[in-house]
Structure 1
Amino acid sequence: MAGLDRNTPLPTEITLHSQSKRLEIAFDDGSRFTLPFEFLRVHSPSAEVRGHGPGQETLQQGKRDVDVVDLQPVGNYAIRPVFSDGHDSGLYSWDYLHMLGRQQDALWQDYLARLAQAGGSRDPAKAPPPAPKGGCGHHH
């Protein structure tokens, strides 16, 4: 299996709260996290968001209203959320989700700081249009 070791906590329950736009996830180590869709979206593990090396991350903006429209299980080790903005290439493994839950506050503060530094906004109306990138053909 894809790099899952015995110590990785496994989720016992995954609930999508569409109204409050949150993903609730409980693990067999007793921890339970509630992760906002926006938080999941801006911390997507996909190459599109993370880039191909440190410092190459693409800062995600205007994701305040993003929804998860579908949640697809990937084997026994990950889920792949489909976001309302068409993003569906992020594979969230159990250990990645657990890490996001544990470090949520620090990661979110870091994101807000980077957003402020870039003069960006969480509101779709205020975010600059994404730079055109080849090979992505999502038109909404």
Structure 2
Amino acid sequence: MTPTKIQLHKQSRQLELHFGPEQFVLSAEFLRVHSPSAEVKGHGPGQAVLQYGKRDVGIQRIERAGNYALKLVFDDGHETGIYTWDYLYQLGKQQASLWESYLTELHNAGKTRQANTSVVRLIDPAQ
């Protein structure tokens, strides 16, 4: 399925996609942490690398990749993911569940969406 409209909202850091009657608004952070690149997904099962500190990332520019995808260039230097139309559609359809899973992974790893921030876990000495 090919999008009928693609619009980058730089100030709000969101990408608006229309697939016929369906419309999705995906944040740059969401797109960055779900990049289809090997840097994020890894080269095989179980090799994904949790992305953190990406809350304020933006999209610098969008490049068309043939007639089937977009290349998103992020302001943190990441530019290797090719987002196919199908992948973007699936991100839109599954946005809520993917985001919830991502937030859970961050929490479990003791990481945060904020750049240069770590979560410190205090251990109760009585345990």
Task: Indicate whether the TM-score tops 0.5.
Answer: yes
Structure 1 gap ranges (5+): 1-8, 129-140
Q: Which amino acid aligns with 2:46?
A: G
Deviation at 1:54, TM superposition (A): 2.1
1:32 to 19, 23, 27: 23
Q: What is the CA–CA distance in structure 1 between the aligned matches of 2:23 and 2:46, rounded to whole Å?
A: 31
Structure showing greater Rg = 2
- SS state at 1:82 partner: strand
- SS state at 1:100 partner: helix
Q: What is the CA–CA distance in structure 2 between the aligned matches of 1:106 and 1:47, rounded to whole Å?
A: 22
Structure 2 gap ranges (5+): 120-127
1:96 to 87, 93, 96: 87
Matched, 1:79 2:79: no
RMSD of aligned alpha carbons: 1.1
What fraction of aligned residue pairs are identical, expressed as a percent?
54
- Give the corresponding residue for 2:125: none
- SS state at 2:96 partner: helix
Q: Which runs of 4+ in 1 moved over 2 A?
A: none
Write out aligned runs for 1:1-140 (5 A): 9-28=1-20, 30-126=21-117
Per the normalisation by structure 2, the TM-score is: 0.91
Aligned length: 119
Q: Which amino acid aligns with 1:69?
A: Q
Per the normalisation by structure 1, the TM-score is: 0.82
